[in-house]
Amino acid sequence: MQTIVIKTTPEDNVAIVANPSGLDRGAVVLNGIVLQEPIPMGHKVALKAFQEGDEVIRYGQVIGFANQLIREGSWINERIISLPQPPNLEDIPYVQRSLPEIEPLEGYTFQGYKNQDGSAGTKNVLGITTSVQCVAGITDFICQKIKRELLPLYPNVDDVVAFNHSYGCGIAIDAPAAIVPIRTIQHIAQNPNFGGEIMIIGLGCEKLRPERLLPADQNSADSSILYLQDEAFEGFGDMVDGIMQLAEKHLQKLNQRKRTTCPASDLVVGMQCGGSDAFSGLTGNPVSGFAADLIVRTGGTVFFSEVTEVRDAIHLLVPRAVDANVAQALKDEMAWYDAYLQQGRADRSANTTPGNKGGGLSNIVEKALGSVVKSGTSPIVDVISPGEKIRKKGLNFVATPASDFVCGTLQLAAGMNMHVFITGRGTPYGLAMVPVLKVSSNSKLANRWHDLIDFDAGPVAFGTKTIEEMGWELFHLILDVASGTKKVATDKLGIHNDLVLFNPGPLT
């Protein structure tokens, strides 16, 4: 059997086992190194003998320190290496330098839904948001009723989606941190895929007033807000009838939307990874990063997120900032989250999951170094705090927790109309509001989950395709999905996760 291990840079003193079934003791790799024990797929083999305290290097960066003697050819995993300290934010300088010029990429388009504000949707969705969790039961009920009774009458409307959340009352509404969930709800209502036709279902006595969730230029709250406590309603049946009447008015407007040719510069693509493994930083993330650079070259917008999966690579990102203000904003978001974790008596090491470790990622440093490559190589033009909307085209850092559901929710609020989600271990994660294009980092997963994975980046690991080749393939697939000519697996199967607010504010 051919033995295949992958070393990412000449400086690395570990390599990743690529064989799908792993390698047995006695297998010979690279320059005659003999494995001392069986090593599973994705896990690291020692390319030298380590003394206690020696640096363990992958991606050309220190990912840990040996905490015992390690023989050449041994299996290096989380149990035998210690976690390094994170980069000290104050010690990371920003030196203004000439950033590489971005070569424009012209002539690429997709078929989208153009909005009055200049944005473009990739779906045509009736959004129903809530001002308080108390009404979630009725919004779930009403969504099913609309799908059965009204949607068939409006063939240009793709779906109706309720954004239920656990916020709105029993909270310190004026606490400084309360702005995060409030502006998240506000900005999700403005997502391009809703076409401005958002409905808000309120109870009537909640602290978070529904009027606060409408865009400032909304003409009339009467056409968008319904209170269940309205005295005009006599019982549940009246409430349902009132919501159905309001929904029909919005559906009539949404049904007039038609797909039209939009420049690729209207794409707003959120990059996210979940269930990562050791191949994520070798295949799925760099392929997605190459596609991200192509989108930026068209004049489009890409953002990456997940603060704890950026923190240990922040020294590699600060030099990519377009100016000193963006560089400082990157460090400020890291510092804010450091303090947030300390309040909960946690630290960044809590990020890595048993699945990450099972897939060969020993710690958060190794995970972060592989995670940030999905941002590509473009300059970082802006930094967006949790719940805010993007302000500039190009590559943005949108600060979010790493939790898939919270990150996806905040990326929706930032304005994404397409989602690229990279996974190595596998997850059925999907969102109803935007297409979620699922990329696998290894072909073993793609073959096993053949009906859940949309794009397999695994061939890169074996050299049968290059990052550039697969990056172009992914770019074209993004355009096809945005146009509605290809459907992602989660939409075919109807698998969609709930949105989850990031709420660092106190409850009362």
CATH code of the domain containing 31: 2.30.130.110
User: Same structural domain for residues 376 and 300?
Assistant: yes
User: Same structural domain for residues 240 and 322?
Assistant: no
pTM of the full structure = 0.96
User: Same structural domain for residues 288 and 232?
Assistant: no
Residue 103 resides in a domain: no
Return d(Cα 12, Cα 30) in angstroms, integer. Answer: 13
Return d(Cα 426, Cα 444) in angstroms, integer. Answer: 10
User: Same structural domain for residues 130 and 211?
Assistant: yes
Out of 254, 281, 303, pick the residue that ends a domain: 254
Out of 44, 61, 82, pick the residue that ends a domain: 82
User: Same structural domain for residues 415 and 295?
Assistant: yes
3-state SS of the chain: helix, strand, coil percent to 5?
35, 20, 45
Query: Which one, of 408, 404, 488, lies nearest residue 452 by Cα?
Result: 488
Query: Which one, of 453, 398, 418, lies nearest residue 284 by Cα?
Result: 453
Distance of CA 236 to the CA centre of its chain: 38
CATH number at residue 120: 3.40.1400
Residue 445 is encoded by which pair of tokens? 């997963």
The parent domain of residue 40 ranges over: 5-82
Residue 262 resides in a domain: no
Residue 235 resides in a domain: yes
Residue recorded with tokens 């006599």: 234
When divided into structural domains, the chain yields a total of: 3
Q: Cβ distance 145 to 479 under 8 Å?
A: no
Residue 329 resides in a domain: yes
Residue 380 resides in a domain: yes
User: Same structural domain for residues 13 and 66?
Assistant: yes
The per-residue pLDDT string of the chain (508 residues; one tens digit each, 9 = 90 and over) reads: 689 999 999 999 999 999 999 999 999 999 899 999 999 999 999 999 999 999 999 999 999 999 999 999 999 999 999 999 999 999 999 988 887 788 999 999 999 999 999 999 999 999 999 999 999 999 999 999 999 999 999 999 999 999 999 999 998 999 999 999 999 999 999 999 999 999 999 999 999 999 999 876 655 556 899 999 999 999 999 999 999 999 999 999 999 999 999 999 999 999 999 999 999 999 999 999 999 999 999 999 999 999 999 999 999 999 999 999 999 999 999 999 999 999 989 888 889 999 999 999 999 999 999 999 999 999 999 999 999 999 999 999 999 999 999 999 999 999 999 999 999 999 999 999 999 999 999 999 999 999 999 999 999 999 999 999 999 999 999 999 999 999 999 999 999 999 999 999 888 8
User: Same structural domain for residues 350 and 451?
Assistant: yes
User: Same structural domain for residues 120 and 148?
Assistant: yes
Out of 223, 254, 285, pick the residue that ends a domain: 254
User: Same structural domain for residues 308 and 399?
Assistant: yes
Which residues, 6+ apart, have CB-to-CB distance to 203 below 8 Å? Answer: 131, 132, 134, 135, 169, 227, 228, 229
- Could you say which DSSP state residue 283 is in? T
Where does 255-377 have alpha helices with state H? 284-297, 314-317, 324-343, 354-358, 364-371
